[in-house]
A = this chain, B = another copy of it.
Amino acid sequence: MEPPAPQRRVTIVDVARHAQVSTTAVSKVLRNAYGASPEMRTKVRRAIDELGYRPNAAARGLRGQTYTIGVMLPDIRNPFFPEILDGITGHLADTDYQVFLGPGGRNDEQAEARVTDAMIDRGMDGIILIAPVSSRARLEHIASAVPAVVVGRHGHSTVYDTVTDDDVAGAAMLVGHLVDLGHSRIAHIEHHESDPTRIAEMPNAQRAEGYRRAMRSLGLAEEIDIVSTSYTQQGGYEGATQLLARPRRPTAVFAGADIVAMGVLEALAEAGLSVPGDISVAGYDNTTFASFGPISLTSVDQAGREIGGNAARLLLERIADRRKAPVQVKLSPTLVPRRTTAPPPL
């Protein structure tokens, strides 16, 4: 039989009294700090276990750390994020840090501001921003308030670290793959970016740029054909519809993201075209969607776990030393050829 749940939570004072030591001693043991003898440590640890003590994070945060890491996710529907998150939590599993996710809104700067402000207000020890859409200035503002790592933005900064995937290289690999198969009329569907100040930083722009460069270097400059919609299924559908209306139809479509490719596949199915018989389709991100057998979409894998792991590592380093030199990690993607790409029809 358990006693009725105690009203008052066990505090550090209770532990100190129970172990017959000072609260300072308990605090030191909690933080693995210098200045406590082994005997003291065991004594305190036993008291903690016996009383079932758990430190109050709010109180800790008032003086020291909260042992909390915030991860801002712009869109929890994006099937690529779980991979990154696994990388982060995996790296943090053996530490005292706890991860909490703050839901932003897709393409919503205000929502991003709200959630990052909330993280700062709560004294989080560090923040990882996944593919934020906020302005450069805003990112620097956040990073000046709390250690921060930005994932998926290509610009450098003096205050935060970045982890990115080499989107230019990924796009080039995909184009190369299609050319190897014999394609030359290769179109690309990109995400329309309106803000000129951040355009170069966004992965979507990098993918389009990678496509352009690869086409040029393979002697296909004349065939460059970019449709600008959005990284959504709807965007893919619309983009494909536009491409199908071309007098000279492309024989392959490189969608900037898997979700875009889904829309493309849908439009092609409606148009009665077979994939890859009539037209090849490739995506980007290698989501579970892409690997799903009946779809089997050729895609580019971004090594999400590695991205997340690096982000967590850099963040811990920056928490340890806020003024360390900023680091930019750029990881290499891998091509994953599947059944939606094949030689063009004769």
Contact = CB atoms under 8 A, between A and B. Distances in A.
A102 to B, nearest CB: 6
Most buried by B among A58, A66, A99, A288: A58
Contacts of A262: 292
Contact of A57 (B102, B114, B115, B121): B121
A344 interface: no
A223 interface: no
Interface of A: 5, 54-59, 61-62, 66, 68, 70, 76-77, 79, 81-82, 85, 89, 98-103, 114-115, 117-118, 120-123, 144-145, 233, 262, 265-266, 269-270, 288-289, 292-295
Nearest to A121: B57
Nearest to A137: B2
A89 B75 CA distance: 13
Contacts of A122: 57-58, 66, 68, 98, 122
Contacts of A269: 293-294
A147 to B, nearest CB: 14
A66 B76 contact: no
Contacts of A56: 62, 121, 123
Contacts of A114: 98
A145 to B, nearest CB: 8
Given A76-B82, A115-B98, A55 B89 contact: no
The 5 closest A-B pairs by CB, nearest first: A58-B61, A266-B293, A101-B101, A100-B100, A98-B118
A76 B77 contact: no
Given A56-B121, A57-B58, A266-B293, 18 more contacts: A5-B145, A57-B118, A58-B58, A58-B59, A58-B122, A68-B122, A70-B100, A76-B81, A77-B82, A77-B288, A98-B102, A98-B115, A98-B122, A101-B101, A101-B103, A262-B292, A269-B293, A294-B295
Nearest to A81: B76
A285 to B, nearest CB: 14
B62 A59 contact: yes
A120 B292 CA distance: 39
A169 to B, nearest CB: 27
